[in-house]
Amino acid sequence: MAGFTNKGKMRLLETLRGVALPGNFYVALCTSAATPTADFNTLSEMTQIGTSTGYSSGGLSVAKSAVGFTAIVEDDGNDDAELTIKDLVWTASGGTLGAARWAVLTDDNSTEADRELWGYYDLGSDQSASSGQTLTLSGFLLKLAE
């Protein structure tokens, strides 16, 4: 399951009123301790994976650009639009990185716990990487549909 949070939907609509988007976004890896829903608002409602084996708290930065968001598609057949986030790679170091169940898209609030959740992506099961291996998130799609 993947989706936008209600907070993310609101923030996107605010741009029509002239409210600026964040300068950057982040994708954080979170455990299965909480299952995000459209009603989640901040990163503090999730539990990030541990930081001692190659994961930096707050996740990886995603630039607000065609480099960070690599593809956008209008799909008239399915009456939606899709936005693809660049491939994200974490390298395990000094132990096992994980277990990540959720990837969440946040804004760039300087107070990490207060970063707003814009979207979430279910990794299907707990994902881990042994020391020296990588954990890659590829094809992270955000889809808007009525």
CA angle 91, 124, 112 (to 5 degrees): 55
Residue 1 has pLDDT above 80, yes or no: no
**DSSP code for 18:** T
6 touches 39 (CB < 8 A): yes
Q: How confident is the model at residue 141, as a pLDDT?
A: 86
- Mean per-residue pLDDT, 10-14: 95
d(CA 53, CA 27): 17
Q: How confident is the model at residue 111, as a pLDDT?
A: 97
Structure-block tokens of residue 1: 């399951």
Output the pTM of the full model. 0.94
Q: What is the mean pLDDT of the chain?
A: 95
* Of 141, 110, 142, 137, residue with least CA distance to 29: 137
Q: How confident is the model at residue 2, as a pLDDT?
A: 81
